[in-house]
């Protein structure tokens, strides 16, 4: 079941739409507070109405001696309760009536063909991951923008060292600074290792 979407204000009243169809309205009426009113500072009364095929009909108890004084929130709640207990059928009646008018005017009404938007193929904007193993056991994993045919080891090393330094600062001194040497590393993507490097490659690749 669709929810009622409200627009408007306490001062000027509200309009409630269901699935884009204006079905409810809450009228705002300025009032002067009589002495017996529980809230003498109340400025407005709110009256909930439901639209029929032709016009709006009040949801008030027409047999009551006095109109019910309520807040805008209470009026909206009455509309929501009405929609759950028959307002949905009224909405369908409005739609059916609109279709009858359209057909009578000579227009052909048909259901649109089901359309499934094409889902664009995700572009692999993130490069391969450079996994670096530091002496002491720390491991960093950094996505690296680099060509798959010419892996940029230097960039991977630079990013890994920067990541280690940031981690060391957050650790409160439990990790040494400057970073220890990288003993081995590799590029990987989607679980596939693209290239591996030993400590000599890592010591010279960042220069």
* 17 and 92 both lie in a single domain: yes
* 100 and 25 both lie in a single domain: yes
Residue 114 pLDDT greater than 70, yes or no: no
* 90 and 173 both lie in a single domain: no
* 145 and 83 both lie in a single domain: no
* 34 and 100 both lie in a single domain: yes
Work out the pLDDT band at 107, boundaries 50, 70, 90. low
Mean model confidence pLDDT for the chain: 78
* 94 and 135 both lie in a single domain: no
* 13 and 76 both lie in a single domain: yes
* DSSP assignment of 99-152: HHHHHHTT----PPPP--PPPPPPP--S--EEEEEETTS-EEEEE---BTTB--
Q: What percentage of the chain exceeds 90 in pLDDT?
A: 28
pLDDT (tens digit per residue) in 138-150 = 999 999 988 889 9
DSSP designation for 8 = E
Model pLDDT, residue 187 = 96
Containing structural domain, residue 140: 129-205
Pairing of strands 192-197, 139-143: unpaired
Model pLDDT, residue 47 = 83
- How many other CB atoms are there within 10 angstroms of residue 8's CB atom? 14
Work out the pLDDT band at 102, boundaries 50, 70, 90. low
Residue 110 lies inside a defined structural domain of this protein:
no
Residue 122 lies inside a defined structural domain of this protein:
no
Residue 121 lies inside a defined structural domain of this protein:
no
Model pLDDT, residue 197 = 93
Cα–Cα distance list, 51 to 12, 15, 101 (Å): 18, 11, 17
Contact assessment for residue 48 and residue 76, using Cβ atoms and an 8 Å cutoff: yes
Residue 119 lies inside a defined structural domain of this protein:
no
Q: In terms of pTM, does the model score above 0.75?
A: no
Residue 117 lies inside a defined structural domain of this protein:
no
pLDDT (tens digit per residue) in 16-69 = 888 778 888 888 888 765 545 566 667 888 888 887 655 666 776 544 445 565
Residue 61 lies inside a defined structural domain of this protein:
yes
Work out the pLDDT band at 77, boundaries 50, 70, 90. confident
3-state secondary structure 170-205: HCCCCCCCCCCCEEEEEEEECCEEEEEECHHHHHHH
Model pLDDT, residue 63 = 47
* 71 and 146 both lie in a single domain: no
Which of the pair, 59 or 185, is modelled with greater confidence? 185
Residue 191 lies inside a defined structural domain of this protein:
yes
Residue 114 lies inside a defined structural domain of this protein:
no
* 16 and 54 both lie in a single domain: yes
Work out the pLDDT band at 207, boundaries 50, 70, 90. very low
Highest mean pLDDT among 4-8, 13-17, 178-182: 178-182
Determine the average pLDDT of the residues in 163-176. Answer: 90
Contact assessment for residue 182 and residue 137, using Cβ atoms and an 8 Å cutoff: no
- End-to-end CA distance of the chain: give it in Å, rounded: 64
Highest mean pLDDT among 80-84, 90-94, 137-141, 197-201: 137-141
Which region, left, alpha or beta, applies to residue 205 given φ > 0 means left and ψ of -120 to 50 means alpha? alpha
Structural domains of the chain, count:
2
Determine the average pLDDT of the residues in 70-98. Answer: 74
Model pLDDT, residue 206 = 46
């Amino acid at each position: 079941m669709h929810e009622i979407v409200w627009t408007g204000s306490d001062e000027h009243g509200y309009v409630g739409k269901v699935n884009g169809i204006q079905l409810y309205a809450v009228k705002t009426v300025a009032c002067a507070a009589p002495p017996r009113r529980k809230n003498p500072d109340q400025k407005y009364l709110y009256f909930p109405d439901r639209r029929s095929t032709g016009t709006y009909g009040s949801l008030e108890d027409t047999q009551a001696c006095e109109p019910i004084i309520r807040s805008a929130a209470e009026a909206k709640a009455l509309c929501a309760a009405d929609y759950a207990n028959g307002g949905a059928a009224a909405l369908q009646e409005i739609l059916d009536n609109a279709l009858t008018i359209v057909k009578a005017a000579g227009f052909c009404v048909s259901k649109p063909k089901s359309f499934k938007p094409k889902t664009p193929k995700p572009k692999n904007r993130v490069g391969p991951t450079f996994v670096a193993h530091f002496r002491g056991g720390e491991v960093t994993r950094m996505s690296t923008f680099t060509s798959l045919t010419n892996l940029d080891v230097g960039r991977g090393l630079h990013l890994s060292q920067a990541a280690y330094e940031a981690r060391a600062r957050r650790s409160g001194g439990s990790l040494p600074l400057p970073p220890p040497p990288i003993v081995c590393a590799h590029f990987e993507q989607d679980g596939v290792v693209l290239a591996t490097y030993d400590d000599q490659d890592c010591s010279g690749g960042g220069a």
